[in-house]
Every structure is written in structure tokens, then in C-alpha cells.
Amino acid sequence: MIFLSNLVNGLSLGSIYAIIALGYTMVYGIAKMLNFAHGDVIMVGAYIAFCALQYWGLPPVAALLAAMLLCTVLGITIEGLAYRPLRQATSLAVLITAIGMSYLLQNLALLIWGANPKSFPSVMIQLPTLSLFGDQLKISGVTMMTILANIAIMIVLTTFISRTKMGKAMRCVSEDRGAAELMGINVNRTISTTFAIGSALAAVAGILLCSAYPTLMPTTGSMPGIKAFTAAVFGGIGSIPGAMIGGILLGVIEILGKAYISTELGDAIVFAVLIIVLLFRPTGLLGKPIREKV
């Protein structure tokens, strides 16, 4: 039962990584850039939800919607001010800008909310604990909600990308930005929508992360953001199913590695597995080789 308990915890943590990784993989798949400030948008979303619950007295659903709305505005603002002027710049310039934006968000959070860790209020107190095998295996409400949220987001996002007009526009921009523009697709609006969706998902991930691990500080999103990026690469960056699979596998590997190998080496095990996978599958589990036109 201990193994099953660790496996469920791994699925829960992996679901959080998967939701974060979706933001990375969508932005890279469509805009062909790495938004390293994405992890800090998670932190901002968690702080907004914290203020909504603790100071504004909003119910959990309203706090979630407020965090998603403000993070959506933040994502569009970041894309418009920091990344859009660099649309034709080199990848190195965009990468440095993304890192700078990450530190900017961290320091703004430090000025606004301070450096002292805050205890994140539980938004899922009323959710029941599921008991299995005669109470030998107990699954908390937070864990169940996290796993179900990941599945629901995956289904909705896949349907949006494959069925809606904007989703088809995103796929066109991802395939060939120049041809998409010639066909009348508004590339700037499409990329802004991608950032908006990724930032809204970051807010959801921030609330789920802080509900499971209720300590909030300006660096809260840094390591989960790096691990989620690792998950996106692991699954095949640019692939939405790959982000989900990579996130879940990474979460399970991390929890089982800490439980059965070494608590101190848990993070090292995660990155070691990534290196091994990339040696045999350079594009990740579901990634496709990119052919450059000459």
C-alpha cells in the first residue's frame, strides 16, 4: 500500500507539472520561443489567489477565476511588451529577455509581498478523502482534484486546438508563420492568445501546487517551472499529449526516487532520467524531428 500511496502522490505532482508544461509547450510549439518567465507567472497566480482568499474574502471559485483573469492579462502584457518587439531577433536575445522577465517578476513579488513565506489557505477543505482497501489507502481531496483537473484541462485544450477556428490558426502559425500571415491569419493575435491560455493554466497550476504544498514565497514557481520545462522536453516539446505524459512520468519518477532511492537525490534522478531519454530520443517521447528548409 505504501507503493500505491507513493504512486498516487506521484500522479498528483506529475499532474501539476503537466499543467505547467502545457504552457511551455504551447508557446514553443506556436511562437518557437522558450518563456522562462512562465514559472514566475505561477507564483503570481498563487499570490493573487492568496490575497483573494485571505484579504478580499472571496470564495475559492472566485479566487481561482480572479487569478486566471489577472494572469491572463499579465501573460498578454509580457508578450506584448517583452517578446513581440523581438519577434525577428535571435533566439539568444529572446532567451535572455525571458530570463530577465523572470527575475523582474520575482523581485516585484518581493517588493509587494515581502520575502517571508506565507501559509497558503486550503481551497479544498470540504473535499472528502477517498479511502480504499479498508482505509489502507487514503487519497486526499487535493490529490483527486489535481488529477481530475489535469485530465479535464487536457481534454478541453486538445478539443480547442483541433476543433476551433483559433486552434486551427494556432496550428497554422506553428507550421509556417509566414504562410499563415499570407492566408490572412493574425499572427500577433494568435500568439497573444497562446500566451493568454498558458498564463491562465499557470494560475491553475499555482493554486494546485500551493494547495498541495502550502508555502508561498517569491521563488515558489522557480523549481516547479524548471521541472515542468524538463517535462515538456521529456515528452516532446511542442506536443500537448507529450507535455501531459512527460509531466506525469516526471512526477512519478521524482516521488518514487525520493521514497526508494534518496530524498536528497530526488531532483538529480529526475534530470538524469531526462538525459538518458534524450540520448536515445533527442526529440523526446512524442516529439517529431524538425526538418529545416533550404
What is the number of structural domains in the chain?
1
Evaluate whether residue 285 is within a structural domain: no
* Distance (Å) of CA 176 to CA 31, 181, 243, 254, 288: 10, 9, 22, 37, 16
pTM: 0.90
Strands (E), the chain: 118-119, 130-132, 137-139, 215-216
Q: Is residue 200 part of a domain?
A: yes
Neighbouring C-beta atoms of residue 57, cutoff 10 Å = 9
Q: Is the pLDDT of residue 185 over 70?
A: yes
pLDDT in tens, 55-86: 888 888 899 999 999 999 999 999 999 888 88
Per residue in 209-225, pLDDT (tens digit) is 998 888 899 999 888 88
Range of the domain at 56: 14-130+138-222
Q: Domain for residue 37, yes or no? A: yes
- Is residue 90 a part of any domain in this protein? yes
CA pair distance 1, 149, nearest whole angstrom: 25
Q: Is residue 190 part of a domain?
A: yes
Residue 72: count other Cβ atoms within 10 Å of its Cβ: 22
Pick the closest to residue 238 from 21, 38, 72, 42 (CA basis): 21
* Domain-embedded: residue 96: yes
Write out the H or E segment, with its range, that includes residue 134: none
Spatial CB neighbours of 89, under 8 Å, sequence gap ≥ 6: none
Domain assignment of residue 51, yes or no: yes
Residues 266-274 have a mean pLDDT of 83
Classify residue 176: in a domain, yes or no: yes
